[in-house]
Structure 1
Amino acid sequence: MMQHDFDELIDRKGTDCKKWDTYKDDVMPLWIADTDFKCPQPVIDAMLERVQHGVYGYPMNVKTFEQSIVNWQKKRFNWDVEVDWVEYTPAVIPAIVYAMRAFTNPGDNIVIQMPAYHPFHDIIPNNGRHILGNQLIRKDDGSYAIDFENLEELLSKKRTTMFLLCSPHNPVGKCFTREELSRISELCLKHNVFVVSDEIHSDIIYKGNRHIPFGSLSQAAADNCVVCVNPSKTFNIAGVRTGAVVIPNRHNHDRFYAPLEDNKAYGRTIFGTLPIEVAYNECDYYADQMLEYLEGNLAYLKKFVAERIPQIKIGNPQATYLIWLDCRELQLSPKELHAFFLEKAKVAMNEGSTFGPGGAGFMRMNIACPRSRLEEALTRIEAAVNS
């Protein structure tokens, strides 16, 4: 088995890198959801070989792309997906937009769970739909539970036609149990609400938890959903802007494809599909080793914060490399909190109120970096808090 060096420090400055080139040179960026790890070597090798061919004309839509999705879902989650269920999309957020256009109408309600991934707050109203927020309940141990009574109330509203699930949840790091997902499915079926499940973080699940693809729950769930997948978070290939959806029901698949076709968004890119195929077919080792490394980073973070910055609470992260920091004891407004970390600690993170209700007083930290960078960032935060 190949070994990957996740401690390697790679200079990303000056590479048109959103994560590193947005802020000044003295700021440690632990914000946007990409990693500071080099891609798996098989992906790099395949891309170099394709580059050296020297001709980059229109590619055919061959089924090797779809087959790689099928392979990964079976290997990692034991979900038996058929090739014809898979559809190429230009990343996950566009896929969600196409699903909204396919399965809802302007003026409809779309339910999301708050606090919610910030682009959800834009793409829903930008497409003429209304957000209904199902507030997640923060428990004493920092984990989150679903308010099912409120969820059913929102799903039962006459104009509610879609539930947009983020599984696992960004930003709170919740991994939904089979029981929770089954209850969601039952309520959505009861109230005739279609489910779009964004499962982009599904490979990063910490010990004691397990990711369940929404479409694998039951035949009824499979017939009432679109599942969005993308290996960009796992293999650090977000810049290729390619994803896929899995739609088991043929009628739903055809409905989803219509707005894709209307916007000519079906044309694939050579350097978008290739890295996904190679990552899913050849790079299990990398996903396993990265998860082990992230668990080490999380353990380091928890120990450091508990012992040296007790004013900040970690909670109970179950999934994703995005850690939801409870900074309410610092007693700063969202604007002050953002400025404190960026200007005083010189660490860039995502400020919690941008994720909607339930986010004020929190910061989202990306721990997918070499441990030496995490150590440096925490040392800076400790000094800033203690001063």
Structure 2
Amino acid sequence: MFSNNDINFEALKRKAYNGRWATLEDGIIPLTAADPDFRTAPEIEQGIIEYIKDGYLSYGPFSGLPEFKKSVAEYFNKEKHGSFSPENILAVNSAAQGMFLIASYVLNPGDEAIILDPVDFLFKKSVETAGGKVMLCPVNTITGEIDFEKMVSLIGPKTKLISICNPHNPLGKVYSKETLIKISQIASAHNLWVMSDEIWSDIIYDQKDFHTYSSVSKEAKNKSFTVYGFSKSFGIAGLRIGAVLCNDEEVLNDFTEKSNFNSTIEGVSTLSQIAGSVALEKAMPWYKEFLSHLQQNRDFTFRMLEKSEILTPNLPEATFVLFPKIENGMSSDEFAQHVLQQGKVAVVPGSERWFGKGAEGHIRICFSTSHEILEEGLTRIISSF
């Protein structure tokens, strides 16, 4: 199901944007945007077809279809130690939109938000779009550990929010229950909101346990938002479907109101919600096979880079990206340009633009493709030097 023969390259060259096949000239292998090269689960395709058979595509409830909210709540409760009811779920147009809405709900212009460094650029962008000021809390690029001493020192009278990425993109770290409790204690002591981006929480290796942030303590449950999406685990990025989860129903109602999700101004395509619902209820066998394929690709990438002497790899506990350290003295941008021109492989440089100041000296490699494409891409990177 996840071999090279299962990839429709013609379709990818027509449809896979965001730095991937449709945006690059022929002959270049994209190991860039974190998006699978495989078609989505047949159950999801079928679910969409079944839904539109009667020809009705009416408005759904503005906060989300009941079946969508129910399936997200049940999934989090069963798989991630959550304690959510359907009333704790709001359907949004992607995890990214959820992050932006939360930042604008919690922050007034001039307020400060603590984000991790390095981390995906959307954290910084969402805070700045809301008029907030970003405070960077360093993360060890080898272990993924958070510098809690620094975190506490960053908190001042204008601090309102701590944003975490769990599992961490691009380091692939899964934060333990103990680490999350520590964050909740710090947040509670200073009356801060916490936003936990958990879009990667389905792609976890070696049966490692995952705790959704709000489950780890009473404090975490009382003052947090969780963000979730389907693009990584089910390959439906183009359907733009995600969810915001919040255990405080009153807060979520206010959030829904202020985010304009209580009228036809906002709201999510019903087709996208059906796809999300079907994914969680019927496509789990597909997803489990996908996860197994990804783990093999992770191990293979690690072994290959370990021998390269050009890049020192990390072994991610989650996600389908690696964030190896550049060992030949090149900057992240120089390295990415070199492998694009000499090796015909596109990777994401660990530049401030994409991941913050702490990312320099690394590149990000995405491995959610076939073994054959991955091997060819890695061979080209290594032999381009």
User: What is the TM-score with the length of structure 2 in the denominator?
Assistant: 0.93
Amino acid at match of 1:112: I
Amino acid at match of 1:191: H
In structure 2, runs of 5+ residues without a counterpart are none
- More deviation, 177-186/98-107: 98-107
Corresponding position of 1:344: 342
Shift of 1:351: 0.6
User: How many pairs align?
Assistant: 376
- More deviation, 230-239/49-58: 49-58
Q: Residue 66 in 1 paired to residue 64 in 2? A: no
**SS of equivalent residue, structure 1 residue 50:** helix
Amino acid at match of 1:341: V
Amino acid at match of 1:343: Q
Map 1:350-361 onto structure 2 (within 5 A): 350-353=348-351, 354-361=354-361
Shift of 1:98: 1.5
For residues 57 and 35 of structure 1, what CA distance do their matches in structure 2 show? 31
8 Å CA contact 1:88–1:266 kept in 2: the answer is no
For residues 225 and 167 of structure 2, what CA distance do their matches in structure 1 show? 15
Amino acid at match of 2:184: S
In structure 1, runs of 5+ residues without a counterpart are none
Amino acid at match of 1:194: W
The percentage of aligned residue pairs carrying the same residue is 26
**Residues 45 and 85 (structure 1 numbering): CA distance in 2 closer, same or farther, change over 3 Å?**
same
For residues 336 and 65 of structure 2, what CA distance do their matches in structure 1 show? 46
Shift of 1:16: 5.7
User: What is the TM-score with the length of structure 1 in the denominator?
Assistant: 0.93
**SS of equivalent residue, structure 1 residue 244:** strand
**Residues 80 and 115 (structure 1 numbering): CA distance in 2 closer, same or farther, change over 3 Å?**
same
For residues 7 and 246 of structure 2, what CA distance do their matches in structure 1 show? 39
Shift of 1:343: 1.1
The alignment's C-alpha RMSD in Å is 1.7
Shift of 1:320: 0.4
For residues 291 and 6 of structure 1, what CA distance do their matches in structure 2 show? 13
**SS of equivalent residue, structure 1 residue 358:** helix
Amino acid at match of 2:329: Q
Shift of 1:70: 1.5
For residues 339 and 45 of structure 1, what CA distance do their matches in structure 2 show? 41
Shift of 1:336: 1.2
Corresponding position of 1:380: 380
Corresponding position of 2:99: 96
Map 1:144-159 onto structure 2 (within 5 A): 144-154=144-154, 156-159=155-158
Shift of 1:243: 0.8
Select 1:133's aligned residue among 129, 133, 136: 136
Q: Deviations over 1:223-281 (max 9, x none)?
A: 11001111221000111111111110123212321322279554231221111010011
Shift of 1:44: 0.8
8 Å CA contact 2:349–2:364 kept in 1: the answer is yes
8 Å CA contact 1:6–1:37 kept in 2: the answer is no
8 Å CA contact 1:197–1:227 kept in 2: the answer is yes
8 Å CA contact 1:117–1:355 kept in 2: the answer is yes
**Residues 9 and 248 (structure 1 numbering): CA distance in 2 closer, same or farther, change over 3 Å?**
same
Shift of 1:52: 4.3
Shift of 1:96: 1.5
Amino acid at match of 2:118: P
Q: Deviations over 1:276-308 (max 9, x none)?
A: 01001112212221111111001111222223x
For residues 359 and 239 of structure 2, what CA distance do their matches in structure 1 show? 30
Shift of 1:104: 1.8
Corresponding position of 1:210: 209
Corresponding position of 1:43: 44
For residues 40 and 279 of structure 2, what CA distance do their matches in structure 1 show? 9
